[in-house]
Each structure stands twice: as C-alpha cells, then as structure tokens.
Chain A
Amino acid sequence: MATKKAKAAPAPTAMDRVKLARDAKRPHMLDFLKYICSDFEELHGDRLVNDDKGLIGGFATIDKVKCLVLGHHKGATIEENLEANFGMANPDGYRKAMRLAKLAEKFHLPVVTFVDTPGAYPGDTAEARGQAEAIAKSLEFFSLLKTPIVVVVTGEGGSGGALAIAVGDRILMLENAVYSVISPEGCAGILWRDGAQAPAAAEALKITASDLKRLGAIDEVVAEPAGGAQKDHKAAALAVKKAVLAALKELAQVPVDELVDRRYAKFRAMGNFF
C-alpha cells in the first residue's frame, strides 16, 4: 500500500501525540484562560500549610457565566516551570482545589478544570504531607460535589495526579492530548525493561483522545487547529470555549442531586464488563 502518490501526512502515532501534548509551545492553562475568560481572579492557598504553584484556581467569567476554574500550571518561563514543578501538583494543590470547589458549591457556581500534568509531584515532602491521601480525598470529594463540573484534558493527563481534578460530569479532551494510567516511559521501563520502548508502550496503553472516547473514559474530543494547538493558541482556546459553554449550558438544566447521581453512574460504568 506504500505508494508514492500518497503525499498526505501519515496519521500521528500515539508517541507523536505524546510529544505534541508535552510541547513547550502548547497552550497551557493561563493561555487558555486568556482567550476563554473575560476575567480571572486567582485565589491562593490550602489554608493548611502552603500555596501550591503547580495547581492553581480562581473565579472567572466565561461569556457571562461565572464559574470556578482549576488547573495544573506548568509555567511559561524556566523560573515559573521550577516554581510550579512543571505542573506536578503537591498535596497542597489538591487541597486548595477542594477548598475552592467547596466555595463554588456553596455559591452554586459550576467548576471547570484544566488537566495538564506529567503526574502528581513525586517528592519526599509531598509524601510527608500525604500525596496519596490528597488525591484519594479529591476523587471522593469531586464525586460528591453538588455543582456541575466540566473537565478539559488539554495536554498531559498523567495518571492519579490528573484524575484528582478530572472527576466531572462532562469530560472533554483536546485532539492531541494524552491521558494515561502511567507514562509511556514508565510503562516501558517496567513491562519492556527498556524506557526506549516508550513508543510501543504508548501504542499498547491506548492513550489518545480517540482511543479514550472509544473506551468510554471521556465524552468528547475537541478538534485542534491544523498541526496542533501550539500553532494557534487562540483557535485552540476558542474551540475549548465553545465546547465548555455547551456543556455548562446542558448541565445547568439538570437538578443538582440528579447530576451527582449521574456522575456516580458515569464512573461506575467504566470498566464494568460483567
């Protein structure tokens, strides 16, 4: 089938998408907010020990809809990257997210989350402050939160650190984003005993947006500008905005108790083969 006249670029492999998802030029949370929200007021701190820079949140307005936005923050400069641990959140980040989401629930505001992290921060201080507990608590907390939640996986959906802010009523995912139980490199290191086999692991793990849609782990794939979101931040952000607004509008019609029951049923159905 390898004829020379087929000039069209071959479909990107899973590893190609991993590279796109990690591209430093790809729009990150604040880039999206710039085009999606008319205002964003960041709020700080978990009220316990810290203000994590890897996971940020605040109130925002999207086309007159007031909401809470939460998301991983990778930073735009090297200094910001280091401060934010490249978007690898600490337990304090997840606890801040829960604190703010509780506030959103109290004032009947929907929550929109932006998922883009290699994973939760694997550090000694993170363990000491309970990384496992913070993620576990988030999963339980967001499953019970009485307000609409729209999740957008924009770049890297890195395992538990991503999932902790990805339990919601509508899960959107950008076309070139990836979302996985383990990084392809990590999986290759364990099951192939060779990190260089990451492309094979990426393929086997089924981590692309279209795979996840087929598996029922997400609801909707948001198309990116030709060549990827890094080529045109504004166009990518506007596509996300449109999808988020449509989801918020739909979810606003559902009584909140029913919404929480539906959310439970949604995750409850994932991986039930019996």
Chain B
Amino acid sequence: MGWFEKKAEKAKIPPTKALWQVCPRCKSYIAKDAWTKNNCICPECNYHGRLGARTRIAQLSDEGSFVEVFREVSYSDHLDFHDATGPYKAKVEATIAKSGETESIVMGTATMGGVPVMLGVMDFGFMGGSLGTGTGERIARACEQAIAEKRPLILCSASGGARMHEGILSLMQMAKTSAAVGRVKEAGLPYISVLTDPTTGGVSASFAMLGDINITEPKTLIGFAGRRVIENTIHQKLPPDFQSAEYLLAHGFVDKIVERAELKNFIVKMLKYFGF
C-alpha cells in the first residue's frame, strides 16, 4: 500500500488529536507522550485528567494485591432499549469488546499500605462511567463484603450520572448505593470517596458525596446539573471555576484536594487515623 493511500484513510483523524492532548481546562497543547508520561496531568495548569480504572487501581493498591470481584455482574437490557442510533445492547457489547471491562466500575479486594480494603474504581471510558444496574449491584455487593470482612471501603467515581438506557432501575441504583454505603458507615467502617474527573449527575447525588471523607484531585469537575442546563435556567454565564474541585472545597463539600501522586498516601494516612 502506497503512503498516499494510508494518508487518505486516516484523513478523518485531525492531526492535532493524533499528536496532541488539548487540556480541557487551560486549552494548552501538550504532546501526547508528555501528557501520558506526566500521569495525565496537565503540566501547564495541573488539571488532573482522566485515568482508566486499571491504571488508577495500580496506583492505589499495593503491588499485586488487587483481586477483582463481581466481574460476572454486568449490564442489563431489561427495557430492550433502542434510540436513534440503534440498540443499547449493541453499544454496550461494543464497549465490552473494546475495553475488556464488563461494567463501569471495577471492584476488588486489595491492600493499601498493608491495610485490607474493598476498592472500586469507575471508568469513564465505559458508557461515560454511567451508573447502571450492574454498577449499582457491584457497589452494593462490595458494601456487604466490606461489612462482612470489616474492610474500609474506597470508591473512586468518574461518571456522567445514571445510565438512562436502563431507565428507572438505573435511577434506583442511586437509592440502593446510598443505602449500602450508609450501612458501611453504620457498621463503624470508614468509607472514603475519591471524586475524580468528572463526577456529575446521579453519581455525585448518591454514593460519591457520602464519604466519611470526600477527596478529589485538582481541577476535577464535580456537580449535579450540567453547566448548560444551569446557564439556560438562570440566563447567565457561569464563571470558569464553577463546579471545579476548588469550588467544591471553598463551599465545604470536599475535605481536601489531593495531588495524584499523594492520593494513596493520603488515603492510607486516614485509615491509620481510623485505627486500621
């Protein structure tokens, strides 16, 4: 195949996207390999970009300690949902085939600084990290296992909200997960919620906001309603830092903004304060 043919095939990908990461916060162009080498953190503005669930698990858990659980709990197409672009089932199956994940949260047991924990990390790459019935079920099971084995619960959220393709039962996962983390806290165990970019809608309005400790990373987007919805409601432009980690900290809804490199140490430190 000639070079010209190859070029023609790839014409759909803008050269900027192939080589550069544009920081969604400061709009700086960062070379892709530099972005990756910097742990997906913008060297210009310190925005802490999105990480895949497996990458974050590797950064938070003690090496080799993570054992995945509930992988068999996956999506459910109980509505036989179709929209303008086709069936939900086809979309989610394509996501599963591409990502190798079976739901938007990867759950497991692990140790952190030697402390046995339940650790769940959401992956925004899986259907926008949406909260489906499978996601909620994994979280509820994890809460019950945490109580049974007296493990602290650590959940890292990254989500656009409830998964509308699963209708009312996805909404009910907000109630189910909130009730489940409530039981962990009632059992005298710590629940540490790590809100990562982005944590919005039904996930921010359920388990993600309910940590005994809520922490986040610099410049993370956290909010309930979408920016455009709010602007259309109040007929005003919102300031750039609206719904940022810094805004949440200033308004009293997160305990601390922690740099990615310090995240594990901070969580372990909290667990030690709590006697683990």
Binding site for B on A (CB under 8 A): 120-124, 126-133, 135-137, 139-141, 143-144, 159-160, 163-164, 166-167, 179-182, 187, 190-194, 197, 200-201, 204-207, 211-212, 215, 217, 263-264, 267-268, 270-274
Contact = CB atoms under 8 A, between A and B. Distances in A.
A140 B181 contact: yes
A164 B137 CA distance: 20
Contacts of B180: 268
Nearest to B248: A130
B172 interface: yes
A167 B252 CA distance: 26
Contacts of A127: 223-225, 230, 242-243
Nearest to A133: B209
Nearest to A141: B182
B140 interface: yes
A274 B206 CA distance: 22
- A-B residue pairs, 7 tightest by C-beta: A271-B133, A122-B225, A143-B179, A139-B178, A191-B83, A132-B204, A136-B209
A204 B72 contact: no
A143 to B, nearest CB: 3
Interface of B: 72-74, 76, 78-79, 81-85, 132-134, 136-137, 140, 162-176, 178-183, 186, 201-202, 204-210, 222-226, 229-230, 233-234, 236, 238, 242-243, 251-253
21 contacts: A120-B224, A123-B225, A129-B251, A135-B174, A136-B174, A136-B209, A136-B210, A137-B210, A140-B181, A140-B182, A160-B202, A160-B205, A164-B205, A181-B167, A187-B164, A194-B84, A204-B79, A267-B179, A271-B133, A273-B133, A273-B137
B236 A140 contact: no
A193 B230 contact: no
Contact of A205 (B73, B79, B238): B79
A93 to B, nearest CB: 14
A130 B254 CA distance: 11
Nearest to B166: A271
Given A167-B175, A205-B164, A181 B205 contact: no
B84 A192 contact: yes
Given A127-B224, A139-B206, A271 B176 contact: yes
B172 A267 contact: yes
B242 A124 contact: yes
A65 B167 CA distance: 35
Nearest to B239: A124
Contacts of A143: 175, 178-179, 182
A197 B179 contact: no
A206 B183 CA distance: 30
A130 B251 contact: yes
A267 to B, nearest CB: 5
Contacts of A190: 164
Contacts of A164: 205
Contact of A123 (B137, B176, B234): B234
A240 to B, nearest CB: 21
Given A131-B205, A136-B178, A123 B133 contact: no
Contacts of B207: 136
B230 A159 contact: no
Nearest to A192: B84
A132 B210 CA distance: 10
Contact of B175 (A139, A182, A197, A274): A139
Contacts of A193: 84
Given A136-B209, A181-B202, 20 more contacts: A120-B205, A122-B229, A126-B224, A127-B243, A160-B205, A160-B224, A166-B175, A180-B168, A181-B162, A181-B166, A191-B164, A192-B83, A204-B82, A205-B168, A207-B167, A215-B167, A267-B172, A268-B180, A271-B170, A273-B78
A239 B164 CA distance: 32
A215 B234 contact: no
